[in-house]
Amino acid sequence: MKRILSYKLFEKFKLPTKEELAQKIRKEFNSEEDARIEVDYYLDNILDLQDNGGFVFRLVWLKNKSKLKTKNLGKHWVMDPNVLDRFESGLESGALDMNPDSKPYLIKAKIEPGQIDLESSLSQFLALPQENEINLKWQPKKFNLKKW
């Protein structure tokens, strides 16, 4: 029942259908079938999190744990920490340019149902589909931090 409500949100915000999403991101993948698989994976996971809550992940570079800004953990998160492996070297070079003493840490945060900003998340997905990012409406209250 809840899943139906989430799909109604797509209609309310006039968001693209699965087929339209796959066509828009097709150029980023080897085939139309790969694009459809990516859309299905993304939508199934984002809607499950939107309906039920769950865990999201974010990679940050810090000198030490005490430097984490707990009041502003960030807006962009991923649903699967394995996605971060794809981008670690690019993220690391940018972070180390800004602060050569920093080390990577993984934030694992618990989110509540309804906490995902579906419209901006889908917009982000259309721009950079390989990143599988989601955007949150408000900061997670429960999280933990560990070295990556």
Number of domains in the chain: 1
What does the alpha-carbon distance between residue 148 and residue 97 come to, in Å, rounded to a whole number?
18
Better-predicted residue by pLDDT, 10 or 22: 22
CB contact set of 109 (below 8 Å; sequence gap of 6+): 55, 56, 57, 58, 73, 77, 140, 142, 143
Asked if residue 88 has pLDDT above 80, the reply is: no
**For 35-81, how does the pLDDT look when each residue is reduced to its tens digit (9 = 90+)?**
989 988 998 899 899 999 999 999 888 888 888 988 889 888 999 98
Asked if residue 127 has pLDDT above 50, the reply is: yes
Alpha-carbon Rg for the chain, nearest whole angstrom, is 16
Which residues span the domain enclosing 87? 2-147
Better-predicted residue by pLDDT, 137 or 100: 137
**For 102-113, how does the pLDDT look when each residue is reduced to its tens digit (9 = 90+)?**
788 899 999 999
111, 53 Cβ separation under 8 angstroms: yes
**Residue for token pair 């790969």:** 34
Q: Strand runs (DSSP E) across 63-117, as ranges?
A: 76-78, 103-111
pLDDT of residue 1: 42
Q: Strand runs (DSSP E) across 39-147, as ranges?
A: 54-62, 76-78, 103-111, 133-135, 142-147
